[in-house]
Structure 1
Amino acid sequence: MFILGLIIGVIVTWLVMSGMADLIISICRGSIKDQRVNGEYFTPEQWLLNTSSAPLFTWCNFGYWRNVSNYVQACMNLAGLVADEVHLVPKDNLFDAGFRSPDQLLVWADLYQVDTIKACGLNIWRLQLARERCQAYPQVELLSGNHMQLAQQEDKSIDKIIALDCVYFFSDKQEFFDNASRVLQPRGLLGITDILLTQPFNVPWQAWLFRRFLTICRIPEENVVPEAIYKQRLDQAGFKLINYRDITVDVLGGFCDWVHQQTNTLKASIAVDVRLRLKILERVLRWLIQNNIVQYVLITAELKTTETEYNTEQENEVADTEATEDKK
């Protein structure tokens, strides 16, 4: 009995000292606390994923891994993929509906030379870092808050809206679509990367596990819906679907491979609880992919135009053509 008690005591002590006990409790409660590394602006998981790059980046998306084996490059590629889908050009007024890393703002401002950028940041530490990183780019306006900041924008004042790897966190996705429809210019574009449900669950334990995963990740269950419902919601908000691409393998599959490689390579320098969190994320994502439960998709939608707006566009095009011919 004494030996059994000693073994239990050692195990409990290790669980508490390593942080495993807190992690297990958090998982049971359905939440995991945010952490920081030495007061810096990124979580341990972000550090682990970005650490192979110099200077240090703070990217925080799943990345686009086709022909890429570096996390930072994969994240930049996903940002570029969305920007290309909405045909981002220098004259655009862009609204970033929720940046999880200020590095993506530098992509819009530096690589795409966008005229004006309004970007929402919910976390104080992200906003602070974004202010530091974007000092050289006066076209970037940082908004403190979440996607609901879109409701404060003027009607028809924005050309493009991007929601990069964040829309599944939104508290009310339908309201986001409705607000986007109101503030976009006629035929304005909405570019989104999102997670969709592909099929109903066959057994109760799968549904339970999936709901726990969403709760831990703080993703509202009503945000992960099948393709048909998703398209219906866009249509109700006044959008016409332009493009729908399943990029699950190149995004979630590649991310899982990278996490597996990175956690093994840096095993000796990673706290046990941090490594376990990433391992759990990797295993759950692989299970979702292998069982075809979710899809990671790239969606481009165009705001529908009324007959009056269409006629106005036609008149403007004719006027521009005549003006060009007069100059010749």
Structure 2
Amino acid sequence: MAKSFFPTVQSYYEGTRWDYRWVWGVRNTYALHFGYYDEQATHHRAAVANMNKVMADLVNIQPGERVLDAGCGVGGSSIWLAQHGNCEVVGITPVESQVKDALRNARKKKVHAQTSFILADYRKTPFEDASFDVVWALESVCHAEQKLDFYREAARLLRPGGRLVMADTFRKGRPYAEENEFQLRRWLNCWAIPDLDSAAEHEAHAQKVGLVDFTFRDITPHTMRSILNIKEHGDKWLWAALELNKLGIVSDVQVSNIWGTIHQFNALQQDLWCYGLLSARKPE
């Protein structure tokens, strides 16, 4: 079983940079997230791009709008929004290497004039009130210890009529029986996720900070191929990683990451979590 090793967000993404780049194909897609599979997007590269389209369509992002990519990774969504939505995008991440990668990727895709990337925490950003038309969060809010902190900052940053859009993992309920909570946390601890909130808890956070028109949709079926793909990678590489870890070639963070792919799937099989898409709006 996995070691009792709990990485921080920074150590997790710094430590798994190679894994995401070469195993998950980030060097080509700039996407650390799951894909949205449908009739048009039937393979990984198309599906991860399609997730951006699904999110953008949900909140009707318009050309010229200013978007905060909260937890931007290596810039994939920011680049997509600049290319396909003709938006001005500011990406923030607490991981220093991701800022450097995102800047380089944006230059490579020739959208550096429409995008910027800085080292920042989405719970407390350096931006003025009402600075953005859209706050965008793709598999990032799960890393917040208190999800309400993210919602407070998002509400502050949104202009009247601005929208929040999020795709992430959500627990199916609370509380769970002790053995089910243990199974869920076996996965979360591996991926530097303090806890998951349920859709109902997210709705309560949105209401508390004054956001309205909350919507939530379970899109697990559309992400199942990504879930299975990452689980298959874990099954394939686990034992080799354990042996290489003994030799000091593979780090504890990398081994923990692989265990996470297996524990995530097991928790899904027990119906402990789902992959969801949500939106909310700041009143005019």
Distance 1:191 1:35, change over 3 A: closer
For 1:296, the equivalent position in structure 2 comes to 275
SS of residue in 2 equivalent to 1:292:
coil
Tell me if structure 1 keeps the 8 A contact 2:14–2:95. Answer: no
Aligned with residue 66 of structure 2, among 88, 93, 96: 93
Aligned with residue 92 of structure 2, among 112, 116, 120: 120
For 1:281, the equivalent position in structure 2 comes to 260
RMSD, aligned CA: 2.9
Shift, 1:203, TM fit: 3.6
For 1:272, the equivalent position in structure 2 comes to 241
Q: Which stretches in structure 2 are left out of the alignment for 5+ residues?
A: 243-249
Distance 1:93 1:31, change over 3 A: closer
Aligned with residue 42 of structure 1, among 17, 24, 33: 17
Aligned with residue 31 of structure 2, among 59, 64, 74: 59
AA at the equivalent of 1:285:
Q
AA at the equivalent of 1:139:
Q
Is 2:173 aligned against 1:199?
yes
Shift, 1:29, TM fit: 2.9
For 2:198, the equivalent position in structure 1 comes to 226
Q: Provide the identity percentage.
A: 19
Tell me if structure 1 keeps the 8 A contact 2:184–2:272. Answer: no
Q: Which stretches in structure 1 are left out of the alignment for 5+ residues?
A: 1-23, 306-328
For 1:27, the equivalent position in structure 2 comes to 3
Is 2:190 aligned against 1:216?
yes
Could you give the per-residue CA deviations for residues 157-199 of structure 1, whole angstroms, max 9, x where no partner exists? 2111100111111243212211221221111100011222213
AA at the equivalent of 2:273:
V
| Structure whose residues are more often helix by fraction | 1
Tell me if structure 2 keeps the 8 A contact 1:27–1:216. Answer: no
Distance 1:35 1:295, change over 3 A: closer
- Greater Rg over alpha carbons, structure: 1
Aligned with residue 142 of structure 2, among 168, 186, 189: 168
Could you give the per-residue CA deviations for residues 126-161 of structure 1, whole angstroms, max 9, x where no partner exists? 1111111223321212121221353x2222221111
Could you give the per-residue CA deviations for residues 294-315 of structure 1, whole angstroms, max 9, x where no partner exists? 121100101123xxxxxxxxxx
Distance 2:175 2:184 in 1: 9
Could you give the per-residue CA deviations for residues 84-116 of structure 1, whole angstroms, max 9, x where no partner exists? 1111111201111111232222101111111x2
Tell me if structure 2 keeps the 8 A contact 1:256–1:286. Answer: yes
Aligned with residue 227 of structure 2, among 251, 256, 263: 256
Tell me if structure 2 keeps the 8 A contact 1:143–1:149. Answer: no
Is 2:180 aligned against 1:237?
no
SS of residue in 1 equivalent to 2:229:
helix
Is 2:127 aligned against 1:153?
yes
Distance 1:211 1:118, change over 3 A: same
Distance 1:126 1:36, change over 3 A: closer
Q: Name the count of aligned residue pairs.
A: 267
For 1:144, the equivalent position in structure 2 comes to 119
- In the superposition, the TM-score normalised over structure 1's length comes to 0.72
Could you give the per-residue CA deviations for residues 44-81 of structure 1, whole angstroms, max 9, x where no partner exists? 24411218xxx733420022123444222221111221
SS of residue in 1 equivalent to 2:23:
helix
Shift, 1:281, TM fit: 3.3
Aligned with residue 160 of structure 2, among 186, 189, 202: 186
